[in-house]
Amino acid sequence: MATVEVLTAPASPSFSLDQENLQSSNSHIESSIKTIPRFSGAENDFRSDFVTVPTAEMLNAPQILSLADNWEEDPTSTELQNYMSQLTGQPAALLVLSGTAANQISLRTALGAPPHSVLVDHRSHIVTMEAGAVSSITGTNGHHLTVIDVQNNATLTTADYDCPTRLICLENTLNGTILPLSDVKAISAWARSQNPPIHLHLDGARLWQAVAAGAGSLQDYCQAFDSVALCFAKGLGAPLGSVIVGSQAFIKRARLMRRLFGGGMRQSAIIAAPARVAVEETFMKGRLTETHEKARRIGEAWESLGGQLVHPTETNMVWLNLDEANLSKEEFWKIAADEGIKVMMKGRLVIHYQISEAAIQQLILVFKRVLGKRGQARSNGHVTNGVKRKIDALG
Ligand SMILES: *Cc1c(COP(=O)(O)O)cnc(C)c1O
Contact 125 CB / ligand 1 (< 6 Å): yes
The residues with which 15 forms a beta bridge, in sequence order, are none
Residue nearest to atom 4 of ligand 1 (CA): 99
Residue 225, CB half-sphere, CA atoms under 13 Å: how many? 32
Residues 245 and 232 in one domain: yes
pLDDT band at 87 (very low <50, low <70, confident <90, very high): very high
355 or 3: whose pLDDT is higher?
355
Residues 247 and 376 in one domain: no
Per the CB < 8 A criterion, the answer to whether 255 and 263 are in contact is no
Our CA dihedral for 179, 181, 183, 188, rounded to 10 degrees, sits at 110
Most ligand 1 atoms within 8 A of CB, residue of 144, 202, 231, 261 to mutate: 231
Among residues 283, 300, 317, the one where a domain terminates is 283
Tell which atom from ligand 1 comes closest to the C-alpha of 204. Answer: 13
Is residue 71 assigned to a domain? yes
Residues 276 and 387 in one domain: no
Per the CB < 8 A criterion, the answer to whether 181 and 170 are in contact is no
290 or 19: whose pLDDT is higher?
290
Is residue 84 assigned to a domain? yes
Contact 144 CB / ligand 1 (< 6 Å): no
Starting at the earlier edge strand, list the strands of the sheet with 227-231.
92-96, 242-246, 227-231, 199-204, 165-171, 117-121, 135-137
Contact 203 CB / ligand 1 (< 6 Å): yes
In this predicted structure, what is the pLDDT of residue 132?
57
Residues 301 and 273 in one domain: no
In this predicted structure, what is the pLDDT of residue 168?
96
Residues 241 and 116 in one domain: yes
Using CA atoms, how far apart are residues 23 and 28, in angstroms rounded to an integer? 9
Counting the structural domains of the chain, the total is: 2
Most ligand 1 atoms within 8 A of CB, residue of 5, 129, 352 to mutate: 129
Residues 74 and 215 in one domain: yes
Q: Give the H or E element holding residue 318.
A: strand 317-319
| pLDDT, tens digit, 9 for 90 and up, residues 145-156 | 999 999 999 999
Residues 154 and 234 in one domain: yes
Looking at the predicted structure, is the pLDDT value of residue 1 above 90?
A: no
CATH of the domain at 101: 3.40.640.10
375 or 10: whose pLDDT is higher?
375
Q: Quick one: how many helices (H) and strands (E) in the chain?
A: 15, 9
Q: Own/partner pairs for 53-56, CB < 8 Å, 24+ apart?
A: 53/237, 53/354, 54/237, 54/238, 54/239, 54/274, 55/237, 55/277, 55/281
Residues 250 and 316 in one domain: no
Mean pLDDT of the chain: 84
Is residue 278 assigned to a domain? yes
Contact 2 CB / ligand 1 (< 6 Å): yes
Is residue 19 assigned to a domain? no
Task: Report the percent of the chain where pLDDT is more than 90.
Answer: 66
Residues 182 and 328 in one domain: no
In this predicted structure, what is the pLDDT of residue 188?
98
CATH of the domain at 389: 3.90.1150.10
Looking at the predicted structure, is the pLDDT value of residue 22 above 60?
A: no
Among residues 221, 251, 283, the one where a domain terminates is 283
Residues 320 and 251 in one domain: no
Domain that holds residue 143: 56-283
In this predicted structure, what is the pLDDT of residue 372?
85
| pLDDT, tens digit, 9 for 90 and up, residues 253-264 | 999 999 998 998
- 359-386: average pLDDT: 72
Among residues 248, 283, 318, the one where a domain terminates is 283
Is residue 7 assigned to a domain? no
Task: Report the percent of the chain where pLDDT is more than 70.
Answer: 81
Tell which atom from ligand 1 comes closest to the C-alpha of 233. Answer: 7
In this predicted structure, what is the pLDDT of residue 126?
84
Contact 170 CB / ligand 1 (< 6 Å): no
Q: Left (φ > 0), alpha (ψ -120 to 50) or beta: where does 142 sit? A: left
Contact 209 CB / ligand 1 (< 6 Å): no
Crossing angle of helices 269-278 and 75-88, in 10° steps, is 40
pLDDT band at 18 (very low <50, low <70, confident <90, very high): very low
Distance 231 CA to ligand 1 centre (A): 7
Using CA atoms, how far apart are residues 109 and 129, in angstroms rounded to an integer? 20
Contact 99 CB / ligand 1 (< 6 Å): yes
Residue nearest to atom 1 of ligand 1 (CA): 99
Residues 109 and 195 in one domain: yes
Distance 98 CA to ligand 1 centre (A): 7
Residue nearest to atom 10 of ligand 1 (CA): 99
Residues 355 and 233 in one domain: no
Contact 231 CB / ligand 1 (< 6 Å): yes
Distance 99 CA to ligand 1 centre (A): 4
- Residues with Cβ within 8 Å of 357's Cβ and at least 6 positions away in sequence, in order, are none
Is residue 15 assigned to a domain? no
